[in-house]
Amino acid sequence: MAESTVTPDQATQEPKTMERAMFGAGCFWGVEATFREVPGVVETAVGYSGGTTTNPTYRDVCSHTTGHAEVVQVDYDPSVVTYEQLLNIFWENHDPTQLNRQGPDVGDQYRSVIFYYSPEQQAEAEASKAALEAAHRYRRPIVTQIVPAPTFYRAEEYHQRYLEKRGLANCHI
């Protein structure tokens, strides 16, 4: 049996502490692709959250009867990328003034939403939104919801890394 080859440095290192964030900003394919590019983002998964149906399918969510949003769950290393930086990416990559839509995609599953996992994330998200509103960055009011993270339901496998699997950079034509 081979012996372990752990160096003294490795033996004393603390394991990295990962944190999790969850965002809804329209079609989850493009949102996931955007967050996957961020240094410090370790893993992403697309799915559904914020509704009433247990274990919904894509077809269920598209029926507008579940209340779920298309979301991206982001696992990240906070020593590399901060939650504030993730929030900035969220705001910059969609229109938070569109209610239940993003561009041509219409429906409650495309709503702008930040699901927070801690009081610290809640405070940062609310401060970030307030700063954008105070700066009058948008002509219309920001409609983004900031609510506690409910159960995340992972989407079907064909939705995971959808654009990457097809060699596409984004959803837009």
| Domain map (residue ranges) of the chain | 16-163
DSSP secondary structure, the chain, as one string: -PPP---HHHHHPPPPPPEEEEEEESSHHHHHHHHHTSTTEEEEEEEEESSS-SS--HHHHHTT-S-PEEEEEEEE-TTTS-HHHHHHHHHHTS-TTSTTEETTEESGGG-EEEEESSHHHHHHHHHHHHHHHHTT-SSS----EEEE----EEPPGGGTTHHHHTT-S-S--
Q: Which CATH architecture does the domain made up of 16-163 adopt? A: 2-Layer Sandwich (3.30)
Query: Going residue by residue through the chain (173 aa), what tens digit of pLDDT does each one get?
Result: 444 344 444 445 555 799 999 999 999 989 999 999 999 999 999 999 999 999 999 999 999 999 999 999 999 999 999 999 999 999 999 999 999 999 889 999 999 999 999 999 999 999 999 999 999 999 999 999 999 999 999 999 998 987 778 777 666 53
62 is catalytic: no
Pick the catalytic residue from 22, 27, 149, 155.
Answer: 27
